[in-house]
Chain A
Amino acid sequence: MQCYGFIGLKHTITHNAALFLTLSGRSSKGNMAAGVLTGVRQVLRGPRLVSAVFSCHGQTFSSAAAAPDTAAAEKILNFPLTQPDYFRLSELFTLKDLFEARVHLGHKKGCRHRLMEPYLFGSRLDTDIIDLEQTAEHLQRALNFTAHVAYRGGIILFVSRRRQFGHLIETTARECGEYAHTRYWKGGLLTNASIQYSPGVRLPDLILFFSTLNNVFQQHVGIRDAAKMNIPTVGIVDSNCNPSLITYPVPGNDDTPVAMEMYCRLFKMTINRAKDKRRQMELLKGISASV
């Protein structure tokens, strides 16, 4: 009988160069803010929340002893932040791709959420049409942020409560080496983590919502919990969703299989690119992340 139980090894959390790198990365909040946000329209709450995230997100590791080449390590972490599109994510998608994947199709006029009105282009035969130019900008920002988080070794959690795409999202998460939660969300998963899991658990550093509503058309509990725990969120908001608590909302269709496959593909490619880039940089500088 194939055992699904986990028989793990006993690991103790060691203080090593990787932790030092993550920690030093966390301290540079100003650079992060400047580096990530581009374009004319800047979401004002974005930079403040991001900086708040990196200052408050509690990691109780004490700084390790000085790594052999701290300057190189710092450069690895800080250099990407100085470039607007370090991972060249704008070449991953075009406006035409979004259109062909039917990302612009929203719900009917009656389902429209008031706060989504700025993101809508208009409505045609009672169906809301999402402004793809805004979507492209937001998506670019979201992908950029995801790439930076993945570059710095952050934990990314894929969340969705749509049963139609649950399997697809879990597969995508597994293929990128990240985590997924497309099942029933138990009450205190984020807010009561030390009791739900074990005392020393590390919470996700970024949560991606592929659909912000749950099966009864209410906002997913994870959005509110992530906001409470200072965890940044990226969310695909359809025309019936509330984009308020989401750090990087991406207005777009979350019902069509084509659109969902496209999003999964895009996020997978970003995360893989970012991780490969990190490995490449470390090989170049001759530092190994894991001791």
Chain B
Amino acid sequence: MWICECGILQDVSLQCAKGCDVVFASCLSACRRANMAASGCRGVRSILWKYGSYGNNLFVSRSKMVPQLPLRQIYVASSLWKKNLAAAGPQKFTQEFIDKQVEEFEVGKRHLANMMGEDPETFTQEDIDRSIAYLFPSGLFEKRARPVMKHPEEIFPKQTAIQWDAEGRPFHFLFYTGKQSYYSLLHDVYEKILAIERHQDKMRNKGLFTSDTKQILLTGSRWLLKEEIEENLVENISVQDYMRLIQLMELLLSMPYCSLEEEFILKFRKQLEVQSSKYEIPALQYDPQGVAFSVADGRRKSAKASITLRDSGSGNITINGRNYLHYFPVLQNREQLMFPLLFVGMMGRFDIEGSVEGSGHSAQAGALRLAISRALLSFVSEGEVEKMRQAGLLTADPRIRERKKPGQEGARKKFTWKKR
């Protein structure tokens, strides 16, 4: 074994993998004399034994090589010496390089305009694309593989701007933590907590401390999600970091005088939209007698239903021209029809006229129920609409029949399993 000039412990091969020449001329000449190939190790061993004391030829003698020690052959894979390209990460470009590319793009744009016989001053990106498509016609299907000439801003990935000044001093005082925006946010939140504590102490000293102060309204809003906070901070944070931030905000909220920092806290809360406002309520119509009625549709599995709900009625239900007792002999289906009216408490008020087709009796009952609920929206107040939504009356049942799969008896049932 010996150590070549780049400091790598060498095995019996004569040349270092990095390509630098082995330093020991004496060893080299001796090896050449012995007609050494890379494989023959016994010959080298004997020579190394003879030239045991390396003396001044040795560049670095880390271990005192005693000639009597048996020499071990170490095999090292060549992949160790190759550069690990994956570990370097995405390629980074310097600002000078990008500026040069921009310059070249501008010059090239003018050349292109001249080539196409157009005015270089008013040559837009669409003109460039057109010209390139004309000059370099490509039959490739993949649009992204075709020749393209775009501004370097669009081609090179955006990198964060240099975060220090001309002398190398970073701008932000928490730069060396790695996550400067996130930690500075934590710092500010803690600052506010301390400010509120000081305020509390002042009030206590004056004897004006009370626990029932103006509280911040938090109903109807939620904390910002981790992704939204990452977007605001322009840097990535981990789940634990996010949880720590929410913990600190909750701590801030738990203090009696937190209303001092209300607007700061509300920046981190997002208002939830009221879901019930999303439903389109069918218009309330009036027939020639002045009676109000509304029409609505509903679907379940493959059953389609259409309902007309008439006001000032006596609770008669007619489906497909027949009385509902005749159409739905099963009690469960009749209960499904009743339920929306029972829920809003308008049982005997309406006359229902409906038509339904498709699927089976249960699905038809479900379709009718949805249609009745939707028709009821125009007779009912805003708060009731929200209640109906939460009761699940306005949600269309998404379940459909699952397909049969090959190799199985049905959708889930498998063929008989035989052990052998």
Residues of A within 8 A of B (CB): 1-14, 16, 18-19, 22, 153, 155, 157, 167, 170, 173-174, 177-181, 183, 186, 189, 195-202, 204, 290-291
**Which 10 pairs across A and B sit closest by C-beta, in order of nearness?**
A5-B234, A202-B168, A4-B181, A8-B161, A174-B173, A4-B233, A181-B176, A14-B166, A183-B177, A181-B177
Contact among A1, A13, A167, A290 for B191, CB-based, below 8 A? A167
Q: Which residues of B contact A198 (CB under 8 A)?
A: 92, 160, 162-163
Binds A, one of B14-22, B182-190, B380-388: B182-190
Given A5-B181, A5-B232, A16-B166, A10 and B95 contact (CB-CB distance below 8 Å): yes
**Is B89 positioned at the interface, with any CB of A under 8 Å from its CB?**
yes
| Cα–Cα, bound, A8→B185 (Å) | 18
A167 with B232: CB separation less than 8 A: no
Interface status of B97 (Cβ within 8 A of chain A) = no
| Interfacial chain B residues near A167, Cβ < 8 Å | 187, 190-191, 194
Closest B residue, CB atoms, query A155: B169
B274 CB, min distance to chain A CBs, angstroms: 23
With a CB–CB cut-off of 8 A, which chain A residues contact B172?
Answer: 6
- Which A residues are CB-close (under 8 A) to B169? 153, 155, 202
Closest CB of chain B to A223's CB: distance in Å? Answer: 15
Q: Which residues of B contact A (CB under 8 A)?
A: 89, 92, 95-96, 160-185, 187, 190-191, 194, 232-235, 267
A153 and B96 within 8 A (CB): no
Beta-carbon contact of A173 and B173 below 8 Å: yes
Are A153 and B181 within 8 A (Cβ)?
A: no
Complex contacts, A180 vs chain B, CB 8 Å: 173-174, 176-177
Q: Are B232 and A189 in contact (CB under 8 A)?
A: no
Closest residue of chain A to B178 (Cβ to Cβ) is: A186
Is there contact, CB below 8 Å, between A196 and B178? yes
Q: Nearest Cβ distance between residue B163 and chain A, in whole angstroms? A: 6
Shortest beta-carbon distance from A290 to chain B in Å: 7
For the complex, give the distance between the alpha carbons of A60 and B296 in Å. Answer: 77
A-B contact pairs, 28 of them (CB 8 A): A4-B181, A5-B234, A5-B235, A6-B161, A6-B181, A7-B161, A8-B161, A8-B163, A10-B95, A11-B164, A12-B96, A13-B166, A13-B168, A16-B166, A167-B191, A170-B174, A170-B187, A178-B173, A179-B170, A179-B176, A181-B174, A183-B183, A195-B89, A198-B92, A198-B162, A200-B162, A202-B167, A202-B168
Q: How far is the CB of B255 from chain A (nearest CB, A)?
A: 16
Nearest neighbor of A203 in chain B, beta-carbon distance: B176
